[in-house]
Amino acid sequence: MESTFHSFLPSTTTAATALLLLSAATATVLVLVFTVIFVNKRRPLKPSSVNRILSGTMGWPFIGETLDFISCGYTDRPQSFMDKRRLLYGNVFKSHLFGSPTIVSTDAEVSRIVLQSDANSFVPSYPKSLTELMGESSILRINGSLHRRIHGLIGSFFKSPYLKAQVTSGMRKLVLESMAAWREDRPIYIQDESKHIAFQVLGKVLIGLDPGEDMEFLRMQFQNFIAGLMSLPIKLPGTQLHRSLQAKKKMVRLVLKIIADKRIHGVAISQDPKDVADVLLNDKSEKLTDKLISDNMIDLMIPGEDSVPLLITLAIKYLSDCPKALHQLKEENLELKRRKNELGNVMCWDDYLSLPFTQNVITETLRLGNIIMGVIRKAMKDVEIKGYLIPKGWCVLTHFRSVHLDDNHHKSPHEFDPWRWQNRDMSSGSSTSFTPFGGGLRLCPGLDLARLEASIFLHHFVTEFRWEAEDDTIINFPTVRMKNRMPIWVKRENYRG
Ligand code: HEM
């Protein structure tokens, strides 16, 4: 059920993208609705226990309010679905979306409590095609002690100075190589460029892969794999889901080979893990089999692959529309470049992260861009939060976007205003009214990585180029992205720094 508003579902050029064509909108809606009806075999609604407490409507039989949700999703204000109902029913209301009775929370405090709860109360909920592709022991699906263990191992590795230094040198090389090939006589598609770079960073971080044949193979198979994330849950040969499962098998085979090599060469048993696979191989609990590790390497690409390029692309979109912010960002980065040049030093990871205004631009992009609009949890028992009853078996949609664009929390919320974050430390990733990376036990372990990658790209971009952006619009549904992949025309600048 989560599929349509959770950006773990990357944009693809296949089914999901085709769905966005206006001419196909009607067909899309029907396909989506029927898909979800077939897919979700949820407990029947028990209105008696809920009507007492929560206002809202359950819409039409079977389809509930899904059509309205989707049609709002196609507009530039997807939260209008929520806004209308908030006026009528308050910040938390009931609905029926994608085949499931759902409590929608646009209340920062209620959402925070849902996110903080453990698996006794709420577990993640995904559509069938996605769970098929993820496998049973995916970090995105598992709960309890195994989840805590894997999340903790990955999270601390992503925070380690070693990893940050490695990402910094790798990413800088990729960014500079890529920018060296940019020409002034044709448009550069920022969304594609950043995607290409971020995937290679991910391959290195997860399994130590360098650019080359295996990386290309992985990239191509991954495209086949994600095309099935939003497909009909039918596994027969010839279906998209079948093709995606085949692609995953091929990727897992490659990762298993890499893991076998690591074991032979003893890299993994060293105390000096170089990538996430090493970290998990080093674990002594014996619960992490090679199959579990290789499956998870692919599943980790799902949240990692699309989100960082979008963060970079949206930041460049907002900066293109706000010359004052661009000017300040450029000055700040040029000043750092000048200092480093004078000292004859290469930039290290904490240099990139040290620039307050650059971080404010990234924070504001996360708030306004809402790369992940919200997440879905399923209640494992009746849960009461702030007087609202969430019945067992119901889903809760914690809608971050509504909170991020709520003027009770953020003044002039639709304006790109990086200055609003001045003197506020947002490095922990979230506060009650700002949760781009989620929260609680499932707080995104990749948040530092995302900020670092965006900072590196922005630094080199603004200190080496001037540009003019072509008109482009942000699409919010089913995932956030630029309609035309953000074409820009660049001019190389010889900034002295
Ligand atoms: C701008 C970039 C990113 C954003 C906005 C983002 C956002 C999120 C959010 C909201 C969640 C919580 C999902 C939930 O509660 O169900 C999450 C989880 C996760 N993210 Fe990210 N993410 C980003 C980048 C990354 C990167 C680069 C990685 C690296 C591989 C990553 C790996 C993960 C993983 C593994 C989880 C699942 C954690 C768990 O369930 O324990 N993310 N992310």
% helix, strand, coil for the chain, step of 5: 55, 10, 35
For residues 439 and 434, what is the distance between their CA atoms, to the nearest angstrom?
A: 10
Using the mean position of ligand 1's atoms as its centre, give its distance from the Cα of residue 28 in Å: 27
Q: Is the CB of 307 under 6 A from ligand 1?
A: yes
Structural tokens at position 328: 């300040």
Task: Name beta bridge partners: 465.
Answer: 492
Cite the annotated binding site for heme by residue number.
444
What pTM does this model have? 0.90
The greatest distance separating any two alpha carbons of the chain, rounded to the nearest whole angstrom, comes to: 72
SS3 label, residue 481: strand
For residues 138 and 142, what is the distance between their CA atoms, to the nearest angstrom?
A: 6
Q: Is the CB of 446 under 6 A from ligand 1?
A: yes
Cite the annotated binding site by residue number.
444
Residue 202 CA: nearest ligand 1 atom is 30
CB count in 10 Å sphere of residue 461: 24
Give the long-range contacts of residues 442-447, CB within 8 A, separation 24 or more: 442/115, 442/124, 442/151, 442/375, 444/303, 445/151, 445/154, 445/155, 445/158, 446/158, 446/303, 446/304, 446/307
Question: Which stretches of the chain score pLDDT less than 50?
Answer: 1-52
Report pLDDT for 3. Answer: 35
- Which residues neighbour 357 within 8 Å (Cβ) at sequence distance 6 or greater? 328, 329, 332, 418
Report pLDDT for 120. Answer: 97
Q: Is the CB of 151 under 6 A from ligand 1?
A: yes
> Hey, what domains does the chain have and what are their CATH numbers?
2-492 (1.10.630.10)
For residues 199 and 194, what is the distance between their CA atoms, to the nearest angstrom?
A: 8
Burial of 422: CB neighbours in 10 Å, binned 0-12, 13-18, 19+: exposed
CB 7 within 8 A of CB 310: yes
- In eight-state DSSP terms, residue 136 is T
Q: At what angle do helices 447-464 and 323-343 cross, to 10 degrees?
A: 90
Using the mean position of ligand 1's atoms as its centre, give its distance from the Cα of residue 53 in Å: 33
Report pLDDT for 445. Answer: 96
> Dihedral, CA atoms, 243, 249, 252, 257, nearest 10 degrees?
-130
Report pLDDT for 278. Answer: 93
CB count in 10 Å sphere of residue 261: 12
Q: Is the CB of 309 under 6 A from ligand 1?
A: no
CB 465 within 8 A of CB 165: no
Residue whose CA is at the smallest distance from ligand 1 atom 3: 307
Q: Is the CB of 450 under 6 A from ligand 1?
A: yes
CB count in 10 Å sphere of residue 239: 16
Structural tokens at position 252: 């897992």
Amino acid (one-letter) located at 364: E
Residue whose CA is at the smallest distance from ligand 1 atom 19: 444
SS3 label, residue 492: strand
- In eight-state DSSP terms, residue 345 is P
Q: Is the CB of 300 under 6 A from ligand 1?
A: yes
Report pLDDT for 203. Answer: 97
CB 53 within 8 A of CB 388: yes
Using the mean position of ligand 1's atoms as its centre, give its distance from the Cα of residue 374 in Å: 12
Report pLDDT for 47. Answer: 44
Residue whose CA is at the smallest distance from ligand 1 atom 30: 304
Q: Is the CB of 303 under 6 A from ligand 1?
A: yes
Report pLDDT for 416. Answer: 98
Residue whose CA is at the smallest distance from ligand 1 atom 17: 444
Structural tokens at position 146: 């195994």
Task: Name beta bridge partners: 96.
Answer: 101
Q: Is the CB of 445 under 6 A from ligand 1?
A: yes
Using the mean position of ligand 1's atoms as its centre, give its distance from the Cα of residue 269 in Å: 27
**Can you give the C-alpha Rg of the chain in angstroms?**
22
For residues 104 and 380, what is the distance between their CA atoms, to the nearest angstrom?
A: 17
Report pLDDT for 495. Answer: 66
CB count in 10 Å sphere of residue 300: 22
| Burial letters 265-290, b for 16+ CB under 10 A, else e | eebbeeeebbbbbbbbbbeeeeebeb
Report pLDDT for 53. Answer: 64
Q: Tell me the best of 150, 167, 444, 449 to mutate to test the pocket of ligand 1, counting ligand atoms within 8 Å of each CB and taking the most.
A: 444
